[in-house]
Amino acid sequence: MAVSAWFAVSVWEQGLARAKFNAVAGNYASILQNGLDDFLANITALRAFYDASHTVDPDEFALFTGQLNSGKDDVMRLLWCPRVTRKDRAAFETARRENGFPDFAITTWSISGPPTVSRGRDEYFPVLYWTVASQLTATIGVDMKSEPVRGEAIARARDGNTMATAQGIQLRNPISGQRAGFLAVLPVYRRGTPIGGVNERRENTLGVIIGAFQTSAVFDSILSKAILPKTVDVYLYEVKAAADALPVYMRGAVDRPEPIEPKSERELSQTADWSMVIKAGDASWNLVVVPAPLGLASFYRAWLVLAGVLLVFAAVLAYMWASLRHARRLETANSRILELAQTDLLTNLANRRAFTKRLTMAFTAAWRGAPPFAVLSLDIDTF
Could you tell me if residue 261 is inside a domain? no
Could you say which of 200, 221, 242 is where a domain stops? 221
The pLDDT of residue 160 = 94
Domain region containing 342: 298-367
Q: Are residues 215 and 306 in the same domain?
A: no
pLDDT > 90 fraction of the chain, expressed in percent and rounded: 33
Q: Are residues 331 and 186 in the same domain?
A: no
Q: Are residues 177 and 58 in the same domain?
A: yes
Could you tell me if residue 333 is inside a domain? yes
- pLDDT reading at 151 higher than 90: yes
> Out of 172-181, 185-194, 214-223, 364-373, which region has the weakest mean confidence (pLDDT)?
172-181
Q: Are residues 97 and 203 in the same domain?
A: yes
Mean pLDDT on 239-254: 86
The pLDDT of residue 297 = 45
Could you tell me if residue 230 is inside a domain? no
The pLDDT of residue 47 = 94
Q: Are residues 152 and 41 in the same domain?
A: yes
- Please count the structural domains in the chain: 2
Mean pLDDT on 270-294: 83
Could you tell me if residue 175 is inside a domain? yes
Could you say which of 188, 206, 221 is where a domain stops? 221
**Which range among 154-158, 230-234, 354-358, 361-365 has the greatest average pLDDT?**
154-158
Question: Taking Cα atoms as reference points, which of 170, 209, 211, 232 lies closest to residue 31?
Answer: 232
Could you say which of 166, 188, 221 is where a domain stops? 221
Q: Are residues 46 and 147 in the same domain?
A: yes
Could you tell me if residue 290 is inside a domain? no
Could you tell me if residue 137 is inside a domain? yes
Mean pLDDT on 352-371: 78
Could you tell me if residue 252 is inside a domain? no
Cα angle at 253 between 250 and 256, to 5 degrees?
120
Mean pLDDT on 279-302: 73
- Domain CATH code at residue 59: 3.30.450.350
Residue 43 and residue 209 in contact, taking contact as beta carbons nearer than 8 Å: yes
The pLDDT of residue 16 = 59
Q: Are residues 208 and 313 in the same domain?
A: no
Q: Are residues 189 and 316 in the same domain?
A: no
Question: Taking Cα atoms as reference points, which of 89, 55, 75 lies closest to residue 217?
Answer: 75
Could you tell me if residue 109 is inside a domain? yes
Residue that wins the pLDDT comparison between 12 and 184? 184
| Cβ-based neighbours of 228, under 8 Å, separated by 6 or more | 24, 27, 28, 31
**Which range among 40-54, 60-74, 353-367 has the greatest average pLDDT?**
40-54
Q: Are residues 214 and 356 in the same domain?
A: no
